[in-house]
Amino acid sequence: VATEDELIRATIERYQSTFSAGDREGWLALFAEDAALEDPVGSPPRQGRDDIAAFWDDVHRRADAITVRMVQGPAVCGDEAAWAFETVVQTGGQSVMISIIDLGSFDADGRIRRLRAFWDASGIRRA
Amino acid sequence: VATEDELIRATIERYQSTFSAGDREGWLALFAEDAALEDPVGSPPRQGRDDIAAFWDDVHRRADAITVRMVQGPAVCGDEAAWAFETVVQTGGQSVMISIIDLGSFDADGRIRRLRAFWDASGIRRA
């Protein structure tokens, strides 16, 4: 039986791999039904899987490909975790890299209850 | 006049530089009087400057030198920020490196209201 720590790490790993693979349903399944996604921090949270699916569609409509690469972590503390990563967004021949730090809280099954993405203009550059 | 964004960035920069320099008073001055420091996340927060000073003393009593190096960020979102860094703790000839992600919230003067440090055993290694 996996510990909560192991479940959380597995969720974060799948979060990164499904995102890079463009696996919308696999990515959505990682969220609890009533999860909240705040991306970037300070924007109105997307609430529930339908709203989070709409976020995925918004992001992917504008890009040809999006991949992510872990930079540091995850550091798992109880039912919370933080990790630093870079995402590369390719749009018509151009690539932009965005440095992001995600902060997540998880339920007992390792599903995401709340995810907050910290990024700002200082972390965006041509790739 | 500095914006809150600039004040927060200046605080984080001084947080790193005072810590690496062993500048206890300079470091403490970055916290609001009633600030909370939760290090690691999940432990009982240190509340107020006296308690935070005791944390500094605890950490430094056990080490000959502690330095920090920024890895990613800070990403500043409103009155919150997140950044990933590594700290090297030297104790009697041995060095240990710990990967940490800090999450801070700040008051209008850029002083730290709350700081949460995410780190776990997976991010500790010989340096």
Q: Characterize A43-75 residue by residue with b for buried, 16 or more Cβ atoms within 10 angstroms of its Cβ, and e for exposed.
A: eebbebbeebbeebeeeeeebeebebeebbbbb
pTM: 0.96
pLDDT of residue B127: 86
**B36 contacts: CB under 8 Å, gap ≥ 6:** B45, B46, B47, B113, B114, B115
Residues of A in contact with B103 (CB under 8 A): 82, 103, 118
pLDDT band of residue A1 (cuts 50, 70, 90) is confident
- Position A127 scores a pLDDT of 87
B106 in contact with A, Cβ within 8 Å: no
Nearest-by-Cβ selection for A84 from B81, B101, B119: B101
Question: At residue A15, does pLDDT exceed 90?
Answer: yes
Cβ separation of A123 and B73 shorter than 8 Å?
yes
pLDDT tens-digit readout, A94-112: 999 999 999 999 999 999 9
The nearest CA of chain B is from the CA of A65 a distance in Å of 23
Contacting residues of A for B42, CB less than 8 Å apart: 77-78, 80
Question: pLDDT per residue over A38-93, tens digit each?
Answer: 999 999 999 999 999 999 999 999 899 999 999 999 999 999 999 999 999 999 88
Residue B59 CA to residue B65 CA, distance in Å, equals 10
- How many CB pairs below 8 A link A and B? 85
pLDDT at B124: 97
- Count Cβ atoms below 10 Å from residue A109 Cβ, excluding itself: 10
Q: Which ranges of chain B have pLDDT less than 70?
A: none
Does A118 lie at the interface with B, CB-CB under 8 angstroms?
Answer: yes
Task: Decide if B107 contacts B80 (C-beta within 8 A).
Answer: no
The reply to whether ipTM tops 0.90 is yes
CB A127 within 8 A of CB B109: no
Bridging pattern class, strands B31-38 and B112-118:
parallel
Q: What is the pLDDT of residue B2?
A: 85
Residue A2, pLDDT above cutoff 90 = no
Mean pLDDT taken over chain B: 96
Chain B touched by A99 (CB under 8 Å):
yes
> Residue A9 and residue A5: Cα distance in Å, rounded?
6
